[in-house]
Amino acid sequence: MAQEIEHLDALLKILAITEGKIESLPFFAKVGEYVKATVKARTLAGLDADNGKFDAYAPTYAEVRAAYGHKTDPVNLKWSGQMFNAMVASPTSRSVRVFFTNSYAAPVAPHKKSNVTNAEKAMYLNKKRRFFALSAKQIRWIIDEWTRTIVIALEGRNG
């Protein structure tokens, strides 16, 4: 981890030197889409941010899921798909913010109204099952892509 931080510090120094010479909005848009796709695919496969299997659903909740025709194995945090559809990326030329919108989550039972937003639902679920995060390998991919982007820009090549 310390080596990655040193590598990142070196990249930030290069970024300061190349300020205004690199069009980074497309890069951060790409990172945002990568984060969204990675989090969604991994979670739907039943894996947490470190690629470990999620703990099983509580027995009573597993019964409710099964009664409504939802999978109980693998644990994938999906009820209707609305929470994952509420995940958005907002890139700028200097960063990207990936978050869940405050749209209302699907109720657990179709005949009930939900008073929980997708952002609140994601925050609650992430405390119990860490899904909204990146592994060291995924962070490494972002750093490597940024390095490649900077090298291409400094060499005057197109991506």
Q: Which two tokens stand for residue 25?
A: 């909005």
Q: What pLDDT, in 10s, does the model give residues 37-50? A: 999 999 999 999 99
For residues 75-80, average pLDDT: 91
Residue 99: enclosing H or E segment and its boundaries? strand 96-100
Q: Where are the domains of the chain?
A: 2-155
- Which of 10-14, 47-51, 92-96 tops mean pLDDT? 47-51
C-alpha 40: how far from its chain's center? 7
Are the C-beta atoms of 54 and 74 separated by less than 8 Å? yes
For residues 83-103, average pLDDT: 91
Give CA–CA dist 1/11, Å, rounded.
15
AA identity, residue 23: E
Would the pLDDT of 113 be above 70?
no
Would the pLDDT of 153 be above 80?
no
Would the pLDDT of 118 be above 70?
yes
Would the pLDDT of 62 be above 80?
yes
